[in-house]
Chain A
Amino acid sequence: MATYFAELKNDFILNFIDEGRWRWLWEGLGNTLIITFVALLMGLAIGIVIAAVRSTFDKNRESMEMHKGFGYYVLKLSNAICHLYLTVIRGTPVVVQLLIMYFIVFATSRDSLMVAMIAFGINSGAYVAEILRGGIMSIDNGQFEAGRSLGFNYIQTMIYIIIPQVFKNVLPVLCNEFIVLLKETSVAGYVGIVDLTKAGDLIRGRTFSAFMPLIAVALIYLIMVVILTALVGVLERRLRKNER
């Protein structure tokens, strides 16, 4: 057992200390975090817009069909576009989307990091949109009717009455999406980005030992996820307290 730990120590030094290899992990972690963070913000922005269009269409379809105006056709078209976006994004693997973004859509861009942020942002947007729409649809229609019957218009009802309830309901799911996103960025290495996973691979390719780099990478992801989950728990408890 003693020799085993001595070996472990040598392995550690070889993989992280020699030639400052820990720098790969540090750089990779930075890239993973920045991609995740920017993609999250983008995903939220896209998701909110899409969810707004889709649920507005669903909720107002009947009353707008009464008098089919210009707005009805604009909304119908937007809804169709959103639907197409959701179908395509949720129907294809994120790696394929990333490669398409990198080699086709942004063929001439050299900024892989930016391409990855956009690719993951667009991907995440689809999932966030459906989470939000699910949240809106899960609110009892009576809430909506109560708002409208007091004289609030659709948007006011959404802002004052529906959204605050949706937010609380979907927050855990949204955070889960964030955690999934964090882990999904591990395919960023496909387009030449040194993210956390790739950093481990690069160390592995130079030291030819599997254990240390892989376990280190796994640990770093795990720690981030555990921290995030704990934060979500705190946030959830605080929100619940506000209601009582």
Chain B
Amino acid sequence: MANTSTVDHHDDHHAPTGLKRWLYATNHKDIGTLYLIFACTMFFLGGAMALVIRAELFQPGLQFVDPQFFNSMTTMHALLMIFGAVMPAWTGLANWMIPMQVGAPDMALPRLNNFSFWLLPFAFTLLLLTLFIPGGAPAGGWTLYPPLSLQAGDSFPLTIFAIHLMGISSILGAINVVVTIMNMRAPGMGLLNMPLFCWTWLITAYLLIAVMPVLAGAVTMLLTDHFFGTAFFTAAGGGDPVMFQHIFWFFGHPEVYILILPAFGVVSEIIPTFSRKPLFGYESMVYASASIAFLSFIVWAHHMFTVGMPLAGQLFFMLSTMLIAVPTGVKVFNWCATMWKGSISFETPMLFALAFLFLFTIGGFSGLMLAIVPADFQYHDSYFVVAHFHYVLVPGAVFAIMAGVYYWLPKWSGRMYSEKLGKLHFWLSTIGVNILFFPQHFLGLAGMPRRIPDYSTQFADWNMVSSIGAFVFGFSQLLFVYVIWQAVRSGEKAPARPWEGATGLDWELPTPAPYHSWDPPPTREVVAKGVAQQH
């Protein structure tokens, strides 16, 4: 705590208040908070859409919505959750934690940071506007496959421009992360001394810079096909709709690692803390993350085995996909080895991290099943796929975000959340999420296709179970908001190190963390102490 006394007087230099504090925000903590609140809002909007879907699927037949609106709900739910909830939540956590963890006062490019956040509300306003225009919201699926997506009505250009804005926002956010990590590390903080969250985010940032522009290119081609008579994907003009799928998934597969790699980082911080042991195999974790990122570029066509491809291609994409299980297995092994003979306690962040470990692995295994070409012809576009990617995204990415919020909330706000309510939230969520998604494996294997508003009656029972789980999971997230609100408003004062085993520069800061994190920068002794405890 060498710096505690010298930090505080920096706070009041240039801190506009009220609305201006947020509109003109350049402080990494303010922007991080904006990102997290935005992500939370989108999480609830996207969640409400998911509940429309599950309400309609509660029983066979058409009860509440017409099929077109149902398809809009699946499309919008995906776009909101991926680009509006999970990605901004990670960027928010990166904004909060990366300067604190590498010993920097702020992000490297504060105004760029402000710009990349404020693009998002405009992007999602455009996207959500489509719900209120004639013809309705996009309903061709978030993957925007032509020729169906080209037949969309007035929602089409709004969706494309919304995706452009989201893309620019995440590219700029990613650039900011790379520059901060490369240029703003405190003296003594080598690259291989950084906490794993910084590492996984650095790799994520490179993925974002590499693939978001490819998505921008693909949707631009859709736009010109629709309005300017080009024929990239229009068969009538000599184009090829299958090419869109290749370009889209060249973006899409790295994208799923963009959603999950920061989760690996968060879990790699939380498990050592509550096991009271340093992370097992730190360097292998870094190399495993980098390998996963590299492999993510050469596996895209496993999303499209059924569109037709030469045998050699099928074999290549099957085997390269299975190869990803190796670095992922290294990670799971390291997390287990970290806990081995540790002195483990089960506070809420640890519970979420453990649930992540188990349930993400289930999602990983069903991914391996989908990678097998002959089996994939059976699973393709079935509810099995829905179960798979929801297992890696909800109890995977979303649980890791929640674990991170519970873990760092005392450092951010200076107050503790209610452990009792936190645990209640955890158990409701975990039980709810399994009731929600596990039966979808059965439905898919029994042959229920995805993206349909009605289904044949033999699927009725498990759909009802799944819908009950959805409502339990959905409404228990209101408790999450309440727990945070209660903690920030009237939680008990948190000590500087609320978790006994917490290590790293972020925990060397006073609680609550000062407005400008490391100003002055940490001394070499403080850095060395933080680093030594982590290794």
Is the pairing of A and B real? no
